Amino acid sequence: MVLGGIRSGKSRWAEEAIVKSLAPDQPVRYLAPGPAGSGDADWAHRVAEHRDRRPAHWSTVETDRIAMQLRESPYTPTLVDDLGVWLTCMLDRHHGWDGGSVTVAVSDEIEDMLGAVGAFPSRLMLVSPEVGLTVVPATASGRRFADELGTLNQRMAAVCDRVVLVVAGQAVPIKPSDA
């Protein structure tokens, strides 16, 4: 699991790390849970930036059905970028932005994702923004996102073998693989 702030270099670090851990030219599945064609020019630029630096032999799947993808092809090395976007998609899909607690449907999606990640037998790299590295969000939905993402990151880190925090492009081990 690779954590980091916005524009910290976490995605690039994860891409380079998965390449180093595999045989040359080994296929990698890149799961992108965000909408590529959102109509936002800045978002489209960021998506293109990520797409352009990935090796040509990688496959890209744009879907928020990450757990299903992991189960359908468990022996393909996979990079998921990123869990914050995935969580946003789940909150959107299940109308989880309102109310005092996350909806049962979002909780079920999170449990499904944790199970799929914990059971995945091949190389898996998860990228997620770390929360708490900026101001407290001024909106209720922003605070909801930060709270839910913080909890998701903690639970996901518990099932991962290794966790690093990327700061200024440099990875700092949080949970070494021998821990």
Q: Please tell me whether the peptide bond between 147 and the residue prior to it is cis, using omega within 30 degrees of 0.
A: no
What does the alpha-carbon distance between residue 113 and residue 118 come to, in Å, rounded to a whole number? Answer: 8
Active-site annotation holds for 50:
yes
Sheet holding 124-129, edge to edge: 59-62, 29-32, 78-81, 124-129, 2-4, 163-167, 170-175
What does the alpha-carbon distance between residue 66 and residue 57 come to, in Å, rounded to a whole number? Answer: 20
CA atoms within 13 A on the CB side of 73: 16
Phi, psi of 178 (to 5 degrees): -95, 10
- Write out the H or E segment, with its range, that includes residue 32: strand 29-32
Catalytic residue among 45, 50, 57, 94: 50
CA atoms within 13 A on the CB side of 85: 21
Phi, psi of 76 (to 5 degrees): -100, 120
**Catalytic positions, written as ranges:** 50
